[in-house]
Structure 1
Amino acid sequence: MTKLTDMQLILLSTACQRDDGSLLPPPDSLGAQAARIRKAVEALIKKGLAAEQEGMAAPQAWRTDGDLVIGVIVTDAGRAIIDPPVAEETPAGKAKEVPAVSPPSASRAGTKQAQVIDLLKRKGGATLNEIVEATGWLPHTSRAALTGLRKKGHAINSAKVEGITRYQIATAA
């Protein structure tokens, strides 16, 4: 999976929303950060997520070569990062499933992370205090562990029950 900065994601997302697919001019939300924007665009070109295109309008100029204005547009690979492919139709007319997220990576048995996962899989899940008691971690470390599990692909839901937040791994119905 390609790691992108927030700025690169904003540039790609904006380009995908434009009819011509141009990364430039950058959206107003990025402000006046010309050097950082230039570096982000260069990285997108290197990764094949954007490409130079001749004959663009002056506001879309990435660089010029005499009278020729060269802009930068999002490639199909760049669009795929912003808008992942949806289920395709198979010849039989049935939809072929495309996984939206990679499956969660397994943790080693007997680790504190495995303990947290077991707590979250219980009916009713677990509170932050229960996670702290089971692992011996501080509350901020326990919250960071929950964030880490989310990044690994676990769908963790939280809900307030009687004023106490309970965390639970979402299970497929």
Structure 2
Amino acid sequence: MSIFNRIKNILAKPEPPKAQRSILQLGPGDAVEVSLVTYQITGRTNNRQRNAVVLTLQDGNTIRYLHIEEREQVVYALYEPIDGRLDEPDEVPTTIEMEDRTYYMEEQYSGMVLVTGKTPFMQAGEQYVWQYQSDDYKLLRIEWQNGRFMLYEGEKVIPGDVQVLRGT
């Protein structure tokens, strides 16, 4: 190696560090630990209008959904799918009673979503969401897209219980 190359290497600016991706940019191939359970991310549903994402998580045969929304602070909720059925999006009630627990509607919204990987809805489009909470802080989430309903039951997760393990 010549002296000029050595001087050039000494004076060259170092590469800037790669910017870390935010929690909202995680996707299939990454891994996340939620409440001491490690999950592989297999799908991602992104609602840009709300700055929110729902990650499809898999641990063996167990599939869960991590809802992440950035508001004043990042809010997390972990859901699992439940059996249930509704007929029309216009007929979603404001109060739902299931298994001796009453859920009250907190929020209703719609927006365009983008999907990546394995998700309950395999194509992008307009999605309607209803979010409920019970008096004992259990959560219920209803999604409707392309004529299909999905129901989820879950609970809030504190930010300290979510650790990101990068896969890609």
For the pair shown, the structure with the greater C-alpha radius of gyration is 1
Identify the TM-score tier after normalising by the shorter chain: under 0.3
Q: TM-score, normalised by structure 2?
A: 0.21
Q: TM-score, normalised by structure 1?
A: 0.20
More helix by share: 1
More strand by share: 2
Asked which structure has the greater RCO (Cα within 8 Å, sep 6+), the reply is: 2
